[in-house]
Amino acid sequence: QVQLVESGGGLVQAGDSLRLSCAASGRTFSSYAMAWFRQAPGKEREFVAGIRWSVGTKDYADSVKGRFTISRDTAKNTVYLQMNSLKPEDMAVYYCAARVGLMVRVAAHYDYWGQGTQVTVSS
């Protein structure tokens, strides 16, 4: 069974940085796509960034492009989301997700989810 465990959330000020981690276990992830989604109160879960585990191909939502960087450490089975220049509108619960196959931006197409980690950005 795939398990995803996020960490690294917290309370920061606008302009600060945070790095989220997603420790993955239970599978060999070479055929997987991994992604970060976020959900703010009263809003739908939205795609933030994704990465193909095997080749490292990346994709970003326009709202975070140039500020956030997704990466993975294959030796540690961990995916990271480096978030720089944080804005109040980035405040949300951030979720790590995994699916077999291509990277997509639709939450419903992901089979495995972590429990989420809260990111709070004060202005």
List the end-to-end C-alpha distance of the chain, in Å, as a whole number: 40
pLDDT (0 to 100) of residue 118: 98
8-34 pLDDT per residue, tens: 999 999 999 999 999 999 988 999 999
| β-pair partners for 23 | 5, 78
pLDDT (0 to 100) of residue 38: 98
82-116 pLDDT per residue, tens: 999 999 999 999 999 999 999 999 999 999 999 99
33-62 pLDDT per residue, tens: 999 999 999 999 999 999 999 999 999 999
**How confident is the prediction for the chain on average, in pLDDT?**
97
Whether 22 contacts 6, CB under 8 Å = yes
Q: What distance in Å separates the CA atoms of residue 63 and residue 73, rounded to the nearest whole number?
A: 25
pLDDT (0 to 100) of residue 60: 98
66-87 pLDDT per residue, tens: 999 999 999 999 999 999 999 9
Nearest Cα neighbor of 4 from 75, 105, 99, 92 is: 99
